[in-house]
Structure formats: structure tokens, C-alpha cells
Amino acid sequence: MMRSLFSGVAGLKTHQTKMDVIGNNIANVNTVAFKSSATTFSDIMYQTTQQASGATATRGGTNAKQIGLGVTNGATKVTITSAGAAQSTGDALDIRLTDANSTNFFIVNNGSQNLFTRAGSFYIDGNGNLAMTTTGYLVMGWQVDPEDPANIIKDTVSALRVMKTENLTSAPEATTAANFAGVIDKNDSQFESTGGYVRTFTLYDNLGYSYTAKFSIKKIDGTMGKYTIELTSVLDQDNHDILADYIEGGGNKEDIFGAAGLTTKTYKFTSAVKWQTYDTSDAANPKSGWVFTDAANGNKKYLLQQGGTAGTAITIAPINSDGSLGQAEGYDSASHTINGITLTQLFGASADDLETIEGDPDWSGVDLSTSTSETSVQISYRTVNYGLQFDTQEGTIITAGNDGGTKLMFNAALLGPNRSDTDPQTGELVNNAMSNIEIEFGSLLNYDNKGTSTVVANRGIPDGSSMRGEGKKLGTMTGLSVQNDGKIYGSYSNGNTVLLGQIAVAQFANASGLEEKGDNCYDTTLNSGEFDGIGIDISADGSSMNTGQLEMANVDLSSEFTDMITTQRGFQANSRIITVSDTMLEELINLKR
């Protein structure tokens, strides 16, 4: 009779444990990616009062006589391979793992070890790392190959610092191509005006600064359907005209040094045409080359670089044509560069009639910075005209004019600071920021359009469905996105999309063997299998990551309430075992009376 008391107590404890599990399931019904648990019972042991016997020739066998001693909790199984329903959040950094058996896990690090979770609610922390919203644990993944930014290096996982400083901006791209398209009507009076028919387009240098190139289209007097296209100006963001070329200077080499105090040095090349003043910045230790710095924007510099090649010459070839198209002969140079702007001849030229645009800045590179006082330099610019002729009867260019070659006239006067001796050197004027630009005019057509022309100038040249050489400004990050394979991309204001890393996942031979560590995280055990430290690409087995969604808890309330009822009744029944056994003992004691 005492056995029944202990069996009742064991039953109470076991049903209490089951009720604890049910309560935990219901409490976490709204916990992201929570996995419900289920308790199974098993009997404890049996007291054998008689062993079983085998049958003989004269009598049958008997079964063993055993009395059970109660119940215990056999196992608490986590339904980890059962995925919860999807909950839409709209947050780009909320990620739901979509897989067949719920066997993929995000890898997170708590500062000392890797843990694993199905809860994909992430954010960017103060250091730019992708981290768990609830704990701050860092999300682990793979980094971009520094030698090939379009690829991922899949080695040991590490923290994904997607918002580090170098990722906040996207490098600009210099404009390398442009095109003119539209209709030219010979009756349009603008082509005979003083300023001509003016078209402009915006271009970018490789520092991301924008410039406005202005072209003037004029009709050639005494011709039918022939026009010149002249690049008249290139304006920077401060509306300064930077269109210029250079020629050999007429001054002499001179050592640059200063006595105590300030002296004035003048380097005379030819007469000035148009003056524009740029202030230079101060510096304690000047460099070897003089740098003309725009005070409005210190990143824009006009550099006179030492060690360059003097006497650089550019030759262009005019073409004589009767208006028909034909195979081009050889020519010395197919393009003419004006301060980084290239006008490309699209058809042939004769090598017999060449015109040379010369450049020989035979003067040393110096630095205008000073540690003693402010300095300034004055630079003059002269617009260089380069004419292109094209036949509007056919809508294509057929000749390149020979009226270029206007030489830049350059003077520089500066207030010389007190400095050490500088040996004279020869060099050339450079502008590394501006790229050569190919300009295509082949889409211009000529027909009667009621006296109205519709010529437009655009960056880039159409190349299938995209534009080649369009150029881009410096881009700032506008957003992050995670693809189905876990790759993280940054979107930028200049239209660029840059790969920043990839989220890795872990898989285990027995995911149910993982140990729950709280905070929606799991750790490996001897029965789950080890993590190799590298992880896998979630798309390798057809699984994916869905952004803007979270995995809900897989708790089934109807099942939980049903289990709650049976658990309650089981607990009540076991309590009756104790009360009945107590009554029976009381009756036994009363026998003495």
C-alpha cells in the first residue's frame, strides 16, 4: 500500500513537469522563432514478486508477477524541425529562413563563442555591425574578396561590419562617353545666330565633381547642310570655365628661393586673356610641386607636376570630303584632347594635311603653400575652339575642321614665400581627374521639322539596354538589402549597388540535439554534431532567406489547451491515489479499535 503512495507522488511530479512545459509553450506563443516542446512519460521500474515460469509436459507456464513503482518524465523533445508561420514586418533587416525541415540556423557570436538561432530580427549597431536586435550578438558571415569585389571569400565566418566607413560611400565614375541625337532643321535660324544652337550636358570627373559642357552648333556660310560643332566652355560647380590648353612658355628657368620676408616672382609665358584668381591653402612643409588649389573646394586642384615630358604635341587631321561616305585613309591622330575632353573623329583622315597643337610648359613644379602668410596665384584661361563638320543631308559626320590649334596664353604671378632653394625642372600641366570623353554625333538627322530643331546632348552612349560611359557622382549609402542567398548589398545615391558581405548559416546532423541557451539561441552538444566554423551557403540546398519577414513561434494553442486538460486530470487522478491510499491506511489503523 505504501507503493501506491509513492506512485501517486511520482505521478504528481511528472504531471507538474508537463504542466511547466505547457506553460512555457503558451508563454512564448509570440516569441520570434520559438520552438515548442513536448513531454513524454515513461514508467520507472517494477517490483517482481514472482518470476515467469516455462511450460512443462504436465502444466502450463506462468507469467511474472510485477508491480509498477510510478512514472517519470521520459523526454522533453523540442520541435525544432517544425517551422513557424511567416510574420510580415516590412523591415529589410528582418529575415526569415525558408527551408524544408527548419534545419538552417543563423550564426551569431556573443563575444566568446558562436551560437545559433532561427530568430532573424537584426539591426546595425553603433560600430556598423549586423547584430541581433534582442541581444546585440554579432551576426556572422563571409567577407567580400578585396581583389574581386564582386565575389565572396567563403572561409571562417566573421562579423559582418557592413556599415564601416569605406562602405558609406560609393566611388564616382568619370564620364567617358556622350552622344548627340535629334533633328537638325536647316531652316532653324538659331544655327545662323552669333551664339549658334547651344546644347549642354553634365559630366563627372573621377572625383565625382560635376561639370557642364557647352557646345555651339553653327551653319557654315556658303554651304548646304554643313555645320560646325564647337566646344565653347566647360564649367565647374563654381561656374568657373576650366576649358584650356597649354603651349610652350616663353620664360626662363629660375631657381626659386626667398630671402627674409616676401618677394614677388613673375613667370611670363605670353599675354593674358582672361584672369581668374584662386587662393592657395597654407602648409608648413610644402611638397615638390606647386598645387593651385580652389579655395571653395580643397579637393579640386590644378597641378603642375614635376618630372613630366615637355614638348607634348597633339596632331589632328582635317578631312576633305565631297559629302559622300567612304573608306578612311590612315591618319596621325584620331582625336583631339582639350583638358580631358576628347572629340573623336568617327571617319577617316588624310595624313598629308596635319595641324599641330603644341604644348611645352618648360617650367618647374612648385608648391604655392606657405607657412608664413597667405599666398595667391592668378591663372588665365583661353577657350580653345575645335570645329567638327557634319553633313546633315545624311545625318552623320563626314569632316573634321582644321580651325583648331588656338593656343592657350598663360601667365602666373605669385607672391613668393620665404623657402629653401628649389632646382628648376620641366614638366607638363596635368588634370588627372578628367577623363577623355568620346562624343558620338551619328544619331543626328536632317529633315524638315517646320523650322524647329530638337538636338539633345546626353552623357553616355547607348549600348543595348544600358548606357556606356555615362559617369556617376560620388554616391552616399541610401539603404541595405539582403538577397535570397544571404548576400548583403548597399544601395547608393549615384545608382551603384555594391556587394558588402554574405550571411552564412549552419546545419547539424541532429538539430533536435542542440541545447537551448535562452535568448532564442542554441549551442552544440555531443548529440547534435559540431559546427565546422565555416558554415554553408543557404542556397546550396534550395533554401532561402526572405527579408521583411520573421518566423513566428510554432506553438499550437489548440494542442496546448488539450494537453493542459489531460495534464490537469492526470494530476487530479494522481492526487486521488494519495487520498485513497491514506483512507485505506486509516481503515487499517481503525481495525485495532
pLDDT at position 229: 80
266, 269, 272, 276: CA torsion to nearest 10: -60
Residue that is written with C-alpha cell 518524465 in the block: 73
CA dist 244 and 340 (Å) reads 10
**Cell of residue 351, nine digits:** 595624313
Model pLDDT, residue 435:
59
User: In sequence order, which residues have a C-beta less than 8 Å from that of residue 2 and are 6 or more positions away?
Assistant: none
pLDDT at 195: 84
The pLDDT, as a whole number, for residue 427 is 52
Quick one: how far is CA 542 from the chain centroid? 25
Per-position pLDDT tens, the chain of length 593: 678 888 999 999 999 999 999 999 999 999 999 999 999 999 888 888 889 888 888 889 888 888 888 899 998 999 988 899 999 999 999 999 998 777 899 999 999 999 999 999 999 999 999 999 999 999 999 999 999 999 999 999 999 999 999 999 988 888 888 887 888 887 888 888 888 888 888 888 888 888 888 888 888 876 666 778 888 888 888 888 776 544 444 455 544 444 444 444 444 444 443 444 334 344 444 443 444 444 444 444 444 444 444 444 433 333 333 433 333 333 344 444 444 444 444 333 333 333 333 333 443 433 333 333 333 333 333 333 333 444 433 433 333 333 333 333 333 333 334 344 445 555 544 444 555 777 776 667 776 777 787 888 777 777 777 778 788 888 999 999 999 999 999 999 988 999 999 999 999 999 999 999 999 999 999 999 999 999 999 999 899 999 999 999 999 999 999 999 999 999 999 999 999 998 998 888 888 76
* Alpha carbon distance 206, 494 (integer Å): 13
| pLDDT at res. 328 | 35
Q: Look up cell 579637393; give the residue.
A: 299
Q: Which DSSP helix (H) or strand (E) runs through 19?
A: helix 2-27
Angstrom distance (rounded) from CA 123 to CA 196 = 57
Residue 394: CB atoms within 10 Å: 15
CA dist., res. 225 & res. 223, Å (int): 6
Q: Given this model, what pLDDT does residue 459 score?
A: 78
pLDDT, position 68: 83
Task: Report d(CA 185, CA 197) in Å as an integer.
Answer: 11
DSSP 3-state of 551: strand
Minimal CA–CA distance to 503: which of 94, 82, 33? 94
Distance separating alpha carbons of residues 224 and 424, to the nearest angstrom: 54
CA distance 380 to 274: 5
Encoded amino acid at 310, one letter: A
Task: Specify whether the backbone of 246 is left (phi greater than 0), alpha (psi in -120 to 50) or beta.
Answer: beta
Q: What is the spatial distance between Cα 588 and Cα 593, in angstroms, rounded to a whole number?
A: 10
Q: CA 204, CA 213: separation in Å to the nearest integer?
A: 10
Position 398, amino acid? I
Phi then psi for residue 78, to 5 deg, are -90, 130
How far is Cα 326 from Cα 334, in angstroms, rounded to an integer?
A: 16
Q: Which helix (H) or strand (E) is 45 found in, with range?
A: none
Which amino acid makes up residue 363? W
For residues 415 and 149, the answer to whether their CB atoms sit within 8 Å is no
* Cell representation of residue 96: 526569415
Q: CA 288 to CA 411: how far, in whole Å? A: 21
410, 270 contact by CB (below 8 A): yes
Give CA–CA dist 169/148, Å, rounded: 18
pLDDT at 143: 97
What is the DSSP-derived secondary structure letter of residue 512?
A: G
Q: Where are the beta strands (DSSP E) in 269-419?
A: 274-279, 291-293, 301-306, 312-316, 335-338, 341-344, 355-359, 376-381, 388-391, 396-400, 411-416
Q: Which of 122, 142, 259 is nearest to 502 (CA)?
A: 142
Q: For residue 111, what are the contacts with CB-CB under 8 A and spacing of at least 6?
A: none
Separation of alpha carbons 265 and 560, rounded Å? 93
Strands 487-492 and 86-88, by their bridges, are: unpaired
